Structure 1
Amino acid sequence: MPLVELRRVSKRFTKGDETIVPLDDVSLSIQEGEFVSLMGPSGTGKSTLLNLVSGIDRPDAGEIEVAGTEITNLSRSRLADWRATNLGYIFQTHNLIPVLTAYENVELPTLLLKLSASERRQRVELALEAVGLSDRADHYPRQLSGGQEQRVGIARAIVAHPKVVVADEPTGSLDGTTSAQVQQLLQRLNQELGITLLMVTHDSEVARIATRQLTLDRGKFLEAVTMT
């Protein structure tokens, strides 16, 4: 059974007199442990797809099932509960809270879970260790480099042990060297920890780190490449 499945999903937006269709009757299956990258021209529905898989937005037609739950018609409160335990999100611009330390930023998702203080501490420490930032736990975002901030963001995305992690241009704001480091980290999380990843990127070199590449254009998937 796929971990993520979209069945004949469509999404439309109205802009003035124009109807924009970023997703037009698309279907997609992602297996547990896969690393899928999604490319395509700007405005072709890549981020829309991430928002649908995350339950941030709803499709106009079709069904979406993630981690055994059909999320299309869940209420906002049930979606919030589902998202807290099943989904991690990596942003392009880190989205760290500047008045919180790296440890406290990573800890935030665990506050939504029914965990003891010791369980929360263990998860945060393991997540920071996984991204190589155990020695920066007490640092504030302003004391970190851009690459370190993004690694904190990745630790925050995995700390709740989600079934799926979605990443929206996770290297888009980084220089070449730092981007390469983050790419290696994402690969390691997928290969060594078995984390299922769905990543949007505009960079074909970044897309190649995934085990499967998809291209989205005019609301349709154009190709799928499996890396060996």
Structure 2
Amino acid sequence: MALVELHDVCKSFKKGEEVITPLDHVDLEVAEGAFVSLMGPSGTGKSTLLNLVSGIDRPDSGRIVVNGTEVTSLSRGKVADWRAANLGYIFQTHNLIPVLTAYENVELPTLLLKMSASERRKRVELALDVVGLRDRAEHYPRQLSGGQEQRVGIARAIVAHPQIVVADEPTGSLDSETSEQVLELLQRLNSELNITMLMVTHDHEAASIATRQLVLDRGHFHEQAGEAV
């Protein structure tokens, strides 16, 4: 079953007098439970794709459907509610709020959802348990290592029990040992919790952990392994 579908999607930008087209009438299906890595030269639109799938940005034309919901047809307000309930986003630079504790940073997405305080607490504690940081719940970002900050970011991405997590260079700012730990965690979330993963990376080793590897170049996807796009 396809969890993510792109149908004839186009996206262009103007850079001075030049028109750049990172996505040029592309079709793509991502199966439920898949772990897909996306590579390609800088500036080819990999992060743009994540923003389109998550509803942060909109295509010039075409349709994007995630688990039966046509994201491209939702209003700005409704797409924000949909994203909070269905999708987690992992950033390269953590994007933690420095004046909030690890617990409070993870809790943020749940504040957009209708749930009791006890359910919210249960989900935050579970997310921190999953990433191994329950004992750091009351620490502020400045009191955490880079790897711990990224794990808080991952906990925040999964706290709402999303069907899909998109990760934009999740190991880009980490050393090799910490990167390996983060990738192992993402693999475990995919295999044990069946969370569909769509990860952008420049790192061939990071990409190799995915069950499906794509390259985005000149507006089109190229399959590195598995079935054709």
Q: Please give the range of the TM-score, normalised by the shorter of the 2 chains.
A: over 0.9
Counterpart position of 1:183: 183
Aligned-partner Cα distance in 1 for 2:222–2:113: 39
Counterpart position of 2:213: 213
**Pair 1:19-2:19 in alignment:** yes
Structure 1: runs of 5+ lacking an equivalent:
none
8 A contact 1:37–1:201 mirrored in 2: yes
- Amino acid in the other structure paired with 1:209: I
* Structure 1 residue 224, shift from structure 2 partner: 3.6
Equivalent residues in 2 for 1:4-15 (5 A)? 4-15=4-15
Equivalent residues in 2 for 1:155-166 (5 A)? 155-166=155-166
Report Cα offsets for 1:38-86 as digits up to 9, x if no partner.
Answer: 0000011101100100101111111100121001121101111111101
Aligned-partner Cα distance in 1 for 2:113–2:123: 12
8 A contact 1:67–1:86 mirrored in 2: no
Report the secondary structure of 2:225's partner residue. strand
* Structure 1 residue 226, shift from structure 2 partner: 3.5
CA RMSD for the aligned pairs?
A: 1.0
Structure 2: runs of 5+ lacking an equivalent:
none
Aligned-partner Cα distance in 1 for 2:15–2:164: 32
- Amino acid in the other structure paired with 2:147: G
- Amino acid in the other structure paired with 1:133: L
Aligned-partner Cα distance in 2 for 1:140–1:68: 38
Aligned-partner Cα distance in 1 for 2:174–2:33: 26
Report Cα offsets for 1:184-212 as digits up to 9, x if no partner.
Answer: 00000001111111000000000011110
- Amino acid in the other structure paired with 2:101: T
Equivalent residues in 2 for 1:21-36 (5 A)? 21-36=21-36
Aligned-partner Cα distance in 2 for 1:71–1:222: 24
- Amino acid in the other structure paired with 2:35: F
Report Cα offsets for 1:147-192 as digits up to 9, x if no partner.
Answer: 0000000000000011110000000000000000001000000011
Counterpart position of 1:85: 85
Counterpart position of 2:195: 195
Equivalent residues in 2 for 1:1-228 (5 A)? 1-226=1-226
- Amino acid in the other structure paired with 1:24: D
- TM-score, structure 2 length as denominator? 0.97
8 A contact 1:168–1:201 mirrored in 2: yes
Report Cα offsets for 1:90-116 as digits up to 9, x if no partner.
Answer: 000000001110000000000011110
Q: Identify which range, 70-79 or 147-156, moves more after superposition.
A: 70-79
- TM-score, structure 1 length as denominator? 0.98
8 A contact 1:55–1:71 mirrored in 2: yes
- Amino acid in the other structure paired with 2:14: T
Report Cα offsets for 1:99-147 as digits up to 9, x if no partner.
Answer: 1100000000000111101000000000000001111111110000000
- Amino acid in the other structure paired with 2:92: Q
8 A contact 1:100–1:140 mirrored in 2: yes
Report the secondary structure of 2:167's partner residue. strand
